Structures are given as C-alpha cells and as structure tokens.
Amino acid sequence: MPPMRVAFFEKDQTLMLDEPMKNGIGDFIRDENGRVQFFRIGGRAHKKIK
C-alpha cells in the first residue's frame, strides 16, 4: 500500500484519510500487557515491525 494519512477517533481506532483506502477503518490489536502487536486494516492484521 502507498503511504496514507490516518486520524484517530478512539484510542486504538483509525480512519484512513487518503486513497486507496479512504474512509477505511483500522485498529490496533494489543497483547495482555497493553503493547501493540498488530495493526488491522482491510481485513488483514499486520505484525508490528520492530
């Protein structure tokens, strides 16, 4: 995917501002300790890059 701007509307919820995912919803998935592990968008969860 190309770089896109996102806006937060909840703690772990985002709204895509640019094409090709404009108005798409994304969310962060955290582990039991509250650390971000994945970013989910378009039905796929992407593992955090270290």
Predicted TM-score (pTM) of the model is 0.77
Least confident of 5-9, 18-22, 42-46: 42-46
Domain spans of the chain, in order of start? 6-47
- Residue recorded with tokens 């969310």: 27
End-to-end CA distance of the chain: 19
Q: Using alpha carbons only, what angle is made at residue 34 by residues 45 and 21, rounded to the nearest 5 degrees?
A: 30
For all residues of the chain together, what is the average pLDDT?
A: 93
- Check if the beta carbon of residue 30 is closer than 8 Å to that of residue 45: no
* pLDDT value at 27 more than 90: yes
More confident residue, 1 or 6: 6
Residues ≥6 apart with Cβ < 8 Å to 40: 26, 27, 28, 29, 46
And the tokens for 44? 């796929």
